[in-house]
Amino acid sequence: MQLVKPGKLLINNEWCEAESGKRFDVFNPATEQKLTDVAEGDAKDIDRAVKSARQAFETGPWKNMTARERGRILNRVALLLQKHKTEFAELETLNNGKPISETLNADLPLAIETFEYYAGLADKIHGDTIPVNGNFFNYTLREPTGVVGQIIPWNFPLLMAAWKLGPALATGCTVVLKPAEQTPLTALKLGEILIEAGLPPGVVNIIPGFGPTAGAAIASHNDVDKVAFTGSTEVGKLVMRLAAESNLKRVSLELGGKAPNIVFADSDLSAAVDGAMRGIFFNQGEVCCAGSRLFLEEKIHDEFISMLKTRVEKMIVGNPLDPKTQMGAQVNKEQFNKILNYIEKGKQEGAKVVTGGAPAHKQGYFMKPTILQGVNNQMTVAREEIFGPVVCAIPFKNQDDLRKQANDTIYGLSAGIWTRDIGKAHRLAKEIKAGTVWINCFNCFDAASPFGGFKQSGFGRELGKYALELYTQVKSVWVSLD
Ligand code: ADP
């Protein structure tokens, strides 16, 4: 299979080496072997990319293009992704370690739908006419924010690129995109498709590179009008600081999570077991909205754990390219070790490993899916994001007890509620401080439905029409009728 063609930076629709001439290695986490290497962009390359994006934003053809034509280009991107779906899925699986069943059935369809959705939305972005005092005609324009820097993580490399590029391009912004250093390959391959779809030079520039160099250069660049970041809360704070200290660029952040997945005794337990598994083992638990805190009503705690254990121990963990595989490899050694350390810490603080808790294979960063029980909400494993296939079961007595614990976290990205009592479900959905609440389901996504955080999970909403707010500014125009 062909890996990404040039492995270079994309600036002004041309593939080029970094000015420093440096390249860095990209690995397959399932084999620990090098896949390829790509050009390593740093501040100088970011500057070149920003200049190209600025030029494209201020002059034609992008600036003069109708919104409908921008929509057509986005549609072509979706069609080309569809055409090359298998190649993209395999490349993502090779580079990230996630199972091919997931790249084919989740990452790719969702990425394609995101481009389709924003293709359709491009010509429906408009202002209002506003009745004002006096003899005036007042209207608003919704204008593109300008040159946008987008910094994305390694857990859904192509999908995160789609979430960022879809709305930015629909609104008429131009972009400097930095994929994560662990997983730059599908974003680069997407660059080939963007050119083929007819995107003019400079509209999207793709610069693989490291966070403290390329990423920080985007966040602190004085000619970037907005930075959109997805990653850890720690780095999110840094990005915001750099944005404030430079040109006060607009910021949106999608950060970490520690989602409560709440199972009441009156729920369909077998569906809830499915949901608990999807909540934490999807994408090896490398999901910011993972259902990592599994709150179980005391009455069903033991029964639920035993049902879950049976299912978890049947999971197929292994070769990510095998269609039967249910859980692949963690993205790299650092993440793998971090997860093992958290499990150790959990044990030291009194949690018990029900199943898993160790590497699954000798080679590759494969973890056994892990259940910890006897966890309380104050333990490190319940407070910090593990970002791995480790679910922490926490018993609760009643709704009051539950509510306090569920919201007792610095994060607020998502939550799950399992109950047959519809009133209870909706009441709780209102009380949970999180950007997404799933009732009797978990990890559901659609390009039309917004996603984003409360509290330290960030701010700004991606997807849906809400994401247009991230990439537009409103201008109020007054016209005297005298
Ligand atoms: P993780 O800890 O899950 O790897 P990070 O928040 O470190 O997540 O990374 C998410 C993205 O942020 C990546 O593209 C990474 O290169 C980038 N990044 C990391 N450090 C910085 C930084 N200091 N400034 C800007 N971007 C950064």
State in Å: Cα 284 to ligand 1 middle. Answer: 19
Structural domain contains residue 4: no
Residue length of the chain: 482
Percent residues over pLDDT 70 in the chain: 99
| Beta carbon of 388 within 6 Å of any ligand 1 atom | no
Residue 1 has pLDDT above 90, yes or no: no
Question: Across residues 8-36, what is the average pLDDT?
Answer: 97
Nearest-CA neighbor of 186 among 167, 215, 162? 162
Please say whether the beta carbons of 91 and 157 come within 8 A.
no
- pLDDT tens for each residue of 270-292: 999 999 999 999 999 999 999 99
The reply to whether 61 and 176 lie within a common domain is yes
The reply to whether 267 and 245 lie within a common domain is no
| Beta carbon of 209 within 6 Å of any ligand 1 atom | no
Collapsing DSSP to helix, strand or coil, 350 comes out as: coil
Residue 398 has pLDDT above 60, yes or no: yes
Residues 245-276 as b/e (b if ≥16 CB within 10 A, e otherwise) read: eeeebbbbbbbbbbbbbbbbeebebeebbebb
Helix (H) or strand (E) holding 44: helix 43-58
| Beta carbon of 452 within 6 Å of any ligand 1 atom | no
CATH number of the domain encompassing residue 295: 3.40.309.10
State in Å: Cα 335 to ligand 1 middle. Answer: 13
141 beta partners: 475
Least confident of 232-236, 399-403, 471-475: 399-403
Identify the residue whose C-alpha is closest to ligand 1 atom 21: 211
Structural domain contains residue 73: yes
Structural domain contains residue 232: yes
Structural domain contains residue 292: yes
Please say whether the beta carbons of 359 and 366 come within 8 A.
yes
What stretches of 232-300 show up as alpha helix (H) in DSSP? 233-245, 269-281
User: Which residue is associated with the tokens 């660029």?
Assistant: 249
- pLDDT tens for each residue of 308-360: 999 999 999 999 999 999 999 999 999 999 999 999 999 999 999 999 999 99
Please say whether the beta carbons of 146 and 225 come within 8 A.
yes
The reply to whether 464 and 360 lie within a common domain is no
Residue 5 has pLDDT above 90, yes or no: no
Q: Which of 92, 181, 286, 288 is catalytic?
A: 288
Question: Across residues 147-162, what is the average pLDDT?
Answer: 98
Structural domain contains residue 1: no
Cα–Cα distance list, 329 to 1, 282, 311 (Å): 20, 12, 19
Q: Is the dihedral of CA 361, 336, 36, 4 positive or negative?
A: positive
- pLDDT tens for each residue of 81-133: 999 999 999 999 999 999 999 999 999 999 999 999 999 999 999 999 999 99
254 catalytic residue (yes or no): yes
Tokens representing 93 are 């699986």
Please say whether the beta carbons of 64 and 119 come within 8 A.
no
pLDDT score, position 60? 86
The reply to whether 184 and 279 lie within a common domain is no
Number of Cβ atoms within 10 Å of the Cβ of 176: 32
pLDDT bracket for residue 57 (50, 70, 90): very high
Owning domain of residue 147: 9-255+456-478
Please say whether the beta carbons of 328 and 284 come within 8 A.
yes
Nearest-CA neighbor of 402 among 304, 328, 294, 268? 294
The reply to whether 245 and 296 lie within a common domain is no
The reply to whether 433 and 329 lie within a common domain is yes
Separation between Cα atoms, residue 319 and residue 322, nearest integer Å: 6
What total of structural domains would you count in the chain? 2
The reply to whether 159 and 270 lie within a common domain is no
CATH number of the domain encompassing residue 38: 3.40.605.10
Mutation test residue for ligand 1: of 235, 241, 333, the one with most atoms within 8 Å of CB: 235
State in Å: Cα 322 to ligand 1 middle. Answer: 30
288 catalytic residue (yes or no): yes
| Beta carbon of 231 within 6 Å of any ligand 1 atom | yes
